[in-house]
Chains A and B, each alone.
Chain A
Amino acid sequence: AQRVTQPEKLLSVFKGAPVELKCNYSYSGSPELFWYVQYSRQRLQLLLRHISRESIKGFTADLNKGETSFHLKKPFAQEEDSAMYYCALRFTGTASKLTFGTGTRLQVTL
């Protein structure tokens, strides 16, 4: 069965400090991994996906198949990065079902 684990419920960092939100997954096939973000009073939205290999809002994430991880990183945290972050996995089945982790709240303080 596929599973996504986000070990931290809350990550608090100072503005300008590096950020790493951890995500590990278990899946026997070739997964597609995503990071979704939910800012305060806004809906869930896609931040980035591993296949596009983009940097969005300064965030990057590299899929490490050996460690089955997809950690989200940003070198310098900004106040506006404070939000709830969800890691999600999708496999190519009959439905494009997303399996989400439990989420990590990132709090960036001055």
Chain B
Amino acid sequence: ETGVTQSPTHLIKTRGQQVTLRCSSQSGHNTVSWYQQALGQGPQFIFQYYREEENGRGNFPPRFSGLQFPNYSSELNVNALELDDSALYLCASSQSGSSYEQYFGPGTRLTVT
């Protein structure tokens, strides 16, 4: 059984640019959630995807968008990057239903300069 993987591990972008982060869910999981973790803070929910549809969104602007593919992998896209977008972005996968545990990936560290 393969765990949740994320790519890239680190990246550096310039303010105003766009970025795409990728997540492969754990085998058997059809739900993916994305979280942003700023330095010294706990993870903050961005949104969740279930069967290729957005299934809930946190308090993030529309320039944060996502996709889920038929194989349940997912992308997080951020447009018009701002300095405050610098953070660790975590992906978590789970089976459908709120009773199931979310399994987290190692994260992608994004630095915006």
Residues of chain A having any CB pair with chain B under 8 Å: 4, 6, 9, 32, 43-46, 49, 86, 88, 90, 92-103
Question: What 18 additional pairs, Cβ within 8 angstroms, besides A45-B104, A96-B94?
Answer: A9-B40, A32-B98, A43-B105, A43-B107, A44-B90, A45-B103, A95-B50, A95-B56, A95-B57, A96-B97, A96-B100, A96-B102, A97-B33, A97-B45, A97-B48, A98-B35, A98-B45, A100-B35
Query: Do A100 and B43 touch (CB < 8 A)?
Result: yes
A-B contact pairs, 30 of them (CB 8 A): A32-B98, A43-B104, A43-B105, A43-B107, A45-B103, A46-B102, A49-B101, A86-B42, A88-B42, A90-B98, A94-B55, A94-B56, A95-B47, A95-B55, A96-B31, A96-B33, A96-B94, A96-B100, A97-B33, A97-B45, A97-B48, A97-B56, A98-B33, A98-B35, A98-B43, A99-B45, A100-B35, A102-B40, A102-B41, A102-B42
* Beta-carbon contact of B94 and A43 below 8 Å: no
**Closest A residue by C-beta to B100:** A96
Secondary structure at the A interface, as helix, strand, loop or mixed, is: loop
How many A-B residue pairs lie within 8 Å, measured between CB atoms?
Answer: 62
Q: How far is the CB of A49 from chain B (nearest CB, A)?
A: 8
- CB neighbours (8 Å) of B35 from chain A are 98, 100
Cβ–Cβ contact A93 & B41, under 8 A = no
Q: In the assembly, what is the distance between CA of A9 and CA of B104, in Å?
A: 22
Chain B residues, Cβ within 8 Å of A9: 40
